[in-house]
Structure 1
Amino acid sequence: MKKYLFRAILLLLLTCLGTATVHAQGRLIRKIQEKAEDKVIEEIFKDEDKDSETETSPDTQIDPDGREYESSREMGPNRRGGGLTQTPPDVYKNITEAETSFNAAKYAEAKSAVRQALWGVELEIGQNILKSLPESVEGMKYAAGQDRVTSSGIGFVGLVIQRVYEGKSDMELRTSIGNDAALLGLAGMYMAGGMYMHSTDDADQKSIRFQGHNATIRYDDYDGYTLGVPFGQSSMLVLNGKNFDSENDFMAAANNFDVEKIKKELGEQ
């Protein structure tokens, strides 16, 4: 743009002075060129100043109406929001949809509806088990906001129910109930009895009988006491207690949970 402006000014002045002598033209051309160059330089710097004035700084923000405003702070963490609402699947509705889709040979939709129905059933079972658990254990109260029921919706393979109890002196008892495959990692050990073979000379881990079931208990300075009780065909109860004074205190807390009652709620044989 600046080059074209320079050429236009030069051409205009040369046209106006077309009758001058060659020598005079040479001097005039040099003067005109100098003035034109000065003009171009002036225009360049004027435009640069204008650009610098209108350039948006890193702290300049644009509001929804297109107006600029200065932001004087960095974006911090989110401090408000209600999270997401959770609505359990409607079991009967999904069963009906599965049947309709199957009859229409829409097998992918039928499969999805069946999975949603299974998910809804598992969540209902999980909530019923939570209701059956004690609200207090050896002076510790359950933390209602930490109750959890999770499910994969695949034939009761991924159902996990969790509850946390908290007490004085940082005592904590975590209860987990569900499918053994989902809880083995949480238990962190192979359980005795049934399909689990247990053999170790570890002084911090041993096999015991708990309410008529084979079980394993272990102790770790970081994790505290952990009790794993397999029951039924594929279910497990895992209890983790921190800051208990002794094994006896931990086992007294563990005996507040009725394995047979939980087994019945899960429909285990």
Structure 2
Amino acid sequence: MKKVLYSLCFLIAFTAANTASSQGLFKKLKDKVNKVVDKEVDKKAGIPPENQSADNSSSSSGKPVNKGGGGLSNTAPPDVKAEMADAETAHAAKNYSDARYSLQQALMGVEIQLGRQILKSLPPTVDALNVDTAQDVVMSTQWGWSNLSIHRVWKNTADKQMTVTVGNAGVYAGLATLYFSNAGMMQANGSTQNFKQVRVKGNKAIIQYEDSKGYTLIASLGQTSMIVWECINFANEQEVMAAANSFDIDGIKKMLGEQ
């Protein structure tokens, strides 16, 4: 009898630990997906950073606090052909530092073109929600397709909104792999689950629900590419899945080179 009780206690403790661990990893995964994109959206909207205060005239070090400025003007993406030509010229002159820089700029230009191509492929309306192109973001912070994010928002006038992020980053993709490779971590006890594994058009995915945030659906598109749907005020899981399935997942994967 004692052995049975010990076994039950162990199973309960193991399940609780797995659930807590998976919830923590899911939060890290969502934070990684949103961190960079949120900064770009706030910057585009003119929202100051959280640690910036408009009321303070000086910092704790006695230095004045900047209260405003003209900011930076928008610049066109790098001209791929021009950067490639510059790289070739620099390489011929054995100026390898400039050659590398020009190649990086050329690759960044390709990434931005790719991101814009993916944006054009996304549906203009989803579940009666209209696209808000003012919030579109295509961002490349590194070169070699290692940190490209594509961000778009659909919404209506009744507080219903869907935010989609398509991107590639090894860090949060690695966190997602922990879920996809361990089905036991994704099953919650009881009649109601707040997160679980699903599939979007055959692709492995994770879905979570929180009362304060709504539904979050994350699908793997390959080794490091992912797509994230954040759905606010959707009626149920089925409505979220129907919206996600309206996307051309195979087309996105093909553009990303994941097929």
Q: Which runs of 5+ in 1 are unaligned?
A: 1-76
8 A Cα contact 2:151 2:166, kept in partner? yes
The corresponding residue for 2:156 is: 167
SS of equivalent to 1:169: coil
The corresponding residue for 2:239 is: 249
Residue 164 to residue 183, structure 1, CA distance change in 2 (3 Å) = farther
Provide, for residues 24-66 of structure 1, a one-character-per-residue CA deviation record: whole Å limited to 9, x for no partner: xxxxxxxxxxxxxxxxxxxxxxxxxxxxxxxxxxxxxxxxxxx
Q: Does 1:156 align with 2:145?
A: yes
C-alpha distance in 2 between matches for 1:192 and 1:149: 27
Provide, for residues 230-269 of structure 1, a one-character-per-residue CA deviation record: whole Å limited to 9, x for no partner: 1222211111101111111111111111110101111222
TM-score when scaled to structure 1?
Answer: 0.64
C-alpha distance in 2 between matches for 1:171 and 1:83: 33
Deviation, structure 1 residue 200: 3.2
The amino acid across from 2:247 in the alignment is: F
The corresponding residue for 2:46 is: none
Residue 183 to residue 168, structure 1, CA distance change in 2 (3 Å) = farther
Q: Does 1:176 align with 2:162?
A: no
Q: 1:212 aligns with which of 199, 202, 214?
A: 202
The amino acid across from 2:186 in the alignment is: T
The amino acid across from 1:235 in the alignment is: S
The amino acid across from 2:87 in the alignment is: A
Query: How do 1:194-209 and structure 2 match up within 5 A?
Result: 196-198=181-183, 199-202=185-188, 203-209=193-199
C-alpha distance in 1 between matches for 2:178 and 2:214: 18
SS of equivalent to 2:186: coil
Q: Does 1:240 align with 2:230?
A: yes
> Which fold has the larger relative contact order, with Cα–Cα distance below 8 Å and residues 6 or more apart in sequence?
2
Q: 2:87 aligns with which of 84, 92, 98?
A: 98
8 A Cα contact 1:119 1:153, kept in partner? yes
8 A Cα contact 1:191 1:228, kept in partner? no
Work out which of the two has the higher radius of gyration on C-alpha atoms and give 1 or 2.
Answer: 1
The amino acid across from 1:241 in the alignment is: C
C-alpha distance in 2 between matches for 1:108 and 1:153: 17
The amino acid across from 2:228 in the alignment is: V
SS of equivalent to 1:232: coil
Q: 2:211 aligns with which of 205, 221, 225?
A: 221
8 A Cα contact 1:95 1:114, kept in partner? yes
8 A Cα contact 1:90 1:120, kept in partner? yes
C-alpha distance in 2 between matches for 1:217 and 1:167: 23
The corresponding residue for 1:45 is: none
Deviation, structure 1 residue 222: 1.7
**Count of aligned pairs:** 189
SS of equivalent to 1:153: coil
C-alpha distance in 1 between matches for 2:240 and 2:119: 21
Q: Which runs of 5+ in 2 are unaligned?
A: 1-66
Q: 1:115 aligns with which of 101, 104, 115?
A: 104
Residue 197 to residue 113, structure 1, CA distance change in 2 (3 Å) = farther
The percent identity for this pair of structures is 38
The corresponding residue for 1:55 is: none
8 A Cα contact 1:122 1:153, kept in partner? no
8 A Cα contact 2:200 2:241, kept in partner? no
The amino acid across from 1:201 in the alignment is: Q
Residue 191 to residue 84, structure 1, CA distance change in 2 (3 Å) = farther
8 A Cα contact 2:87 2:103, kept in partner? yes
C-alpha distance in 1 between matches for 2:140 and 2:237: 32
Q: What is the aligned-residue RMSD (CA, Å)?
A: 2.4
The corresponding residue for 2:121 is: 132
SS of equivalent to 2:231: strand
Provide, for residues 205-228 of structure 1, a one-character-per-residue CA deviation record: whole Å limited to 9, x for no partner: 101121011111111112211111
